[in-house]
Structure formats: C-alpha cells, structure tokens
C-alpha cells in the first residue's frame, strides 16, 4: 500500500519546486506577512518554508498528513472553488510519503511551539513535542524522493532545481506585495533573494526581477463586463504590468495569477506574445505580469489539480479583450 501511496504522491509532487508551490500557498493561506525559504542542494536535501501565519493547533497536527485533511473546505458549496486550485488536503500528505517532513508551529495563544514529524501520512511517535518557537509555522521537507528512485533520477542538477525554486518564489513575490519573501541557501550568510513588503507592485518587481525590467513596465488595468458571453455575461478584472519598449532580456517572463493562484494559460500567453511580435518585433522577450480576477464558478474545476494549466468560461472572448488592450498599450507607448 505504501508503494501505491508513494507513486500517487509522486504524481502530486514532481520536484522540489512543486512542493514549494504548495508550501507557499499554505503559508499565504495562513495569512503570512513574512516568508523565508531555505534551500540545500536545490531543495533535494532540504526545502524549508517559514511563515508568521496563524499556525496549526495541536489537535490538527495529529491528522495533518492524512489524505483530504484540510481546513479550507467550509461548506459543500465551496468545493468547486477549493477544487479549482487546491489539492483538497493532499499536498502535505503526499510530501510525507516521499520525504522526511517536519512541522514546527505555534498558534497565537499557545504556551509553546510544537514539533511534529511525519512519515507515510502518520505522525511519528504518536504526538507532537513541545519546543521553543514563535507564532507561525516552519515546514521542512528533507531528502525528497529518498524512497522513490525513479523520481529522484528524473530530477535535474541541484542548480537547475534551485533555479526552478527561485522562479516559483519570484512569481508569488510578484503577486503578494504585502508579504516579504526571502530565499536563503543553507549555510550562506546573505540571502539569495530579499523582497521587503512593497506598496507599489512595480517596486516589488524591481526587487524581484531587477531595475532593468522594472523601468520598462507600463500598467494595464481592465474591468470588463462582456455582455455577449452567455447567460449573465462574464465580469473580469485585469491588473497587469507589461514591458512596453524594446526591452531585451535573456528570457521572456510571463507571470499569470487567476484569483490569486499561480496558473498557466497557454492560449493567453500565445495571444500576448503574438501582439509583441506584431507591434514590437525587436522585443522578442517580453515581460508580462498579469493578475486576473474571475467569478470562481467561471474557472474549470475539472483540470487535474497538479496541472497549472487553467481553463475558464468564455476564454476566447477574454483573451481577445486582453490582447486588444495589450496592443493598445504597446502602440500607445511606442507612438
Ligand atoms: P490544503 O491546503 O488543500 O488544505 P494541504 O495538505 O496543503 O491541504 O494542507 C493541509 C492543512 O494543513 C491545511 O488545510 C491547513 O489547515 C494546514 N496547514 C498547512 N500548512 C500550513 C501553514 N503554513 N500554516 C497554517 N496551517 C497550515
Ligand atoms: Mg495546500
């Protein structure tokens, strides 16, 4: 049975960066205003996320890594919304099957912190141990895939896995400007990335991606009601910052959030890249940060939760709207 669970867990957690995405979302869901990511060997030896969120109560620690243990499913009606992006309580459970998982946590009113280790979904020693700590949660994932050789062999070099970790942190840091983000490599004194809380997103993007990118960015905001798009239409809002001159970079960056969750939408990316190619043929590597807000029920719940690719209602119409708006910005900024 454990082998089956391990294989299943490997389907949920592919590599250190996919574990990190889950840990970051949990920290943000817990209301963190400061998040530190500590990494050793590209996250293969150690991937640790520390937050200052609400913490986990002692009673919840006992069942934390059981499948489908979640505090985020208040009512059945929420199911659609939760299923859209979450794992419905599968992330930590999965990690406990393919790594050594240690949770240190303290809630606001607790007399002390608690430390709990998990293996194969079960709390080791049957109980969490009291320890010193501060409010918040630290989750350490050690020796990822120590027991799944096929997964371990599929990993890239520690440097490449580390780069993927940085990429995930950069994306969340772009979105969550009210939370500070730090990446540390274990044993190094200076943080590899430090993004203090920012009031303006462009300041955050400067901290995350550098001044060369930030100075080329133009804001793009939309608030659209598309009447033609079926019963009741579709309202959506777009909050974006896009590079608008012949900004050159080694790689293009396309950061997309829908309803505060990091996703990918190949159709939207293609449409925007096509505008850049048409209007700014020399800006081969555009930078686009886009946050879309859609009615939760417009987002497809049937996509497998491990896939970041997202589908939503009236997708083609929405992509057309966004494409037109991006074109307007690019033509305006370069008139
Ligand atoms: P989900 O996020 O879908 O609920 P997870 O397996 O990711 O499932 O997490 C299980 C539960 O553990 C969460 O619902 C939450 O109650 C708790 N949890 C996980 N990480 C944290 C954290 N950093 N701070 C507070 N609670 C957490
Ligand atoms: Mg989660």
Distance CA 129, CA 101 (A): 14
Nearest CA to ligand 1 atom 16: 71
182 and 236, same domain (yes or no): no
- Please report which confidence band the pLDDT of residue 231 belongs to, taking 50, 70 and 90 as the band edges: low
Distance CA 180, CA 52 (A): 11
- Digit-coded pLDDT (tens) for 24-45: 999 999 999 999 999 999 999 9
Nearest CA to ligand 1 atom 13: 70
Strands across the sheet with 253-258, in order?
A: 217-226, 234-243, 287-293, 253-258, 261-263
25 and 164, same domain (yes or no): yes
- Digit-coded pLDDT (tens) for 114-140: 999 999 999 999 999 999 999 999 999
214 and 190, same domain (yes or no): no
118 exposure class (CB count in 10 Å sphere: 0-12, 13-18, 19+): buried
How high is the pLDDT of residue 282?
77
The count of C-alpha atoms lying within 13 angstroms of the C-alpha of 214, restricted to the half-sphere facing its C-beta, is 13
215 and 296, same domain (yes or no): yes
How high is the pLDDT of residue 84?
41
How high is the pLDDT of residue 83?
43
Q: Which atom of ligand 1 is nearest to the CA of 27?
A: 23
Percent of the chain with pLDDT over 70: 89
**Do the domain assignments include residue 315?**
yes
Residue of higher predicted confidence among 281 and 93: 93
Cα–ligand 2 centroid distance for 88 (angstroms): 7
103 and 215, same domain (yes or no): no
Nearest CA to ligand 1 atom 19: 26
Report the chain's mean pLDDT, rounded to a whole number. 89
Q: Is 273 left (phi over 0), alpha (psi -120 to 50) or beta?
A: alpha
Q: What is the DSSP string of 49-61?
A: EEE-S----HHHH
Q: Which helix (H) or strand (E) holds 136?
A: strand 136-142
What is the ipTM for the molecules in this complex? 0.99
251 and 326, same domain (yes or no): yes
For 178, the domain range is: 2-195
- Digit-coded pLDDT (tens) for 156-193: 999 999 999 999 999 999 999 999 999 999 999 999 99
The count of C-alpha atoms lying within 13 angstroms of the C-alpha of 141, restricted to the half-sphere facing its C-beta, is 32
Residues contacting residue 141 through CB under 8 Å, at least 6 positions apart = 16, 19, 23, 43, 46, 47, 48, 95, 99, 100, 101
| CB-CB contact of 39 with 46 (8 Å) | yes
User: How far apart, in Å, are the Cα atoms of 174 and each of 69, 209, 211, 291, 309?
Assistant: 29, 9, 14, 10, 19
Q: Of the residues 29, 113, 116, which should be mutated to test ligand 1's pocket, given the most ligand atoms within 8 Å of the CB? A: 29
Q: What is the mean pLDDT of residues 94-100?
A: 96
156 and 218, same domain (yes or no): no
Q: Of the residues 70, 82, 116, which should be mutated to test ligand 1's pocket, given the most ligand atoms within 8 Å of the CB? A: 70
Q: Of 165, 195, 225, which residue is a domain's last?
A: 195
What is the value of pTM for the model shown? Answer: 0.93
**Do the domain assignments include residue 200?**
no
Cα–ligand 2 centroid distance for 272 (angstroms): 30
- Output phi, psi for 112, to 5 deg: -160, 170
Pocket of ligand 1 (CB under 6 A): 22, 26-27, 30, 51, 53-56, 64, 69-72, 86-93, 137
Measured from the alpha carbon of residue 27, the closest ligand is 1
* Number of domains, the chain: 2
How high is the pLDDT of residue 80?
52
Q: What is the DSSP string of 258-327?
A: ETTEEEB-HHHHHHHHHHHHHH-TT--S-EEEEEEE--GGGB-S-S-TT--B--BTTHHHHHHHHHHHHH
Distance CA 60, CA 133 (A): 18
Distance CA 163, CA 155 (A): 13
- Least confident interval from 76-80, 247-251, 283-287, 316-320: 76-80
- Digit-coded pLDDT (tens) for 53-69: 999 999 999 999 987 77
**Do the domain assignments include residue 79?**
yes
How high is the pLDDT of residue 78?
53
Distance CA 273, CA 276 (A): 5
CATH of the domain at 271: 3.30.230.10
How high is the pLDDT of residue 297?
78
pLDDT at 6 over 60: yes
How high is the pLDDT of residue 252?
86
- Digit-coded pLDDT (tens) for 238-275: 999 999 876 656 778 999 999 888 889 999 999 999 99
184 and 235, same domain (yes or no): no
**Do the domain assignments include residue 204?**
no
């Amino acid at each position: 049975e454990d082998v089956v669970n391990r294989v299943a867990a490997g389907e949920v957690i592919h590599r250190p960066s996919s574990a990190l995405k889950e840990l970051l979302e949990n920290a943000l869901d817990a209301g963190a205003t400061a998040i530190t990511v500590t990494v050793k060997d590209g996250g293969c030896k150690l991937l640790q996320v520390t937050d200052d969120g609400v913490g986990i109560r002692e009673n919840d620690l006992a069942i934390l890594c059981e499948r489908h243990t979640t505090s985020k499913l208040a009512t059945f009606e929420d199911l659609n919304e939760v299923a859209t992006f979450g794992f419905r309580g599968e992330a930590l459970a999965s990690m406990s099957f393919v790594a050594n998982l240690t949770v240190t946590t303290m809630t606001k009113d607790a007399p002390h912190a608690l430390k709990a280790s998990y293996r194969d979904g079960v709390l080791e020693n049957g109980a969490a141990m009291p320890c010193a700590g501060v409010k918040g949660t630290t989750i350490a994932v050690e020796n990822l895939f120590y027991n799944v050789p096929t997964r371990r062999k599929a990993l890239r070099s520690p440097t490449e896995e580390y780069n993927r970790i940085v990429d995930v942190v950069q994306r969340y840091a772009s979105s969550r400007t009210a939370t500070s983000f730090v990446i540390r490599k274990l044993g190094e004194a200076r943080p590899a990335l430090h993004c203090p809380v920012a009031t303006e997103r462009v300041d955050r993007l400067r901290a995350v991606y550098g001044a060369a990118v930030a100075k080329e960015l133009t804001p793009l905001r939309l608030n659209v009601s598309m009447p033609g798009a079926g019963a009741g239409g579709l309202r959506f809002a777009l909050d974006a910052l896009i590079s608008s001159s012949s900004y050159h970079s080694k790689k293009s960056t396309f950061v997309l959030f829908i309803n505060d969750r990091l996703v990918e939408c190949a159709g939207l990316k293609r449409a925007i890249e096509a505008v850049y190619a048409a209007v700014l043929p020399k800006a081969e590597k555009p930078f686009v940060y886009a946050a879309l807000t859609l009615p939760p029920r417009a987002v497809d719940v049937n996509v497998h939760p491990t896939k970041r690719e997202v589908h939503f209602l009236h997708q083609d119409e929405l992509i057309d709207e966004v494409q037109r708006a991006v074109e307007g910005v690019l033509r305006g900024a370069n008139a």
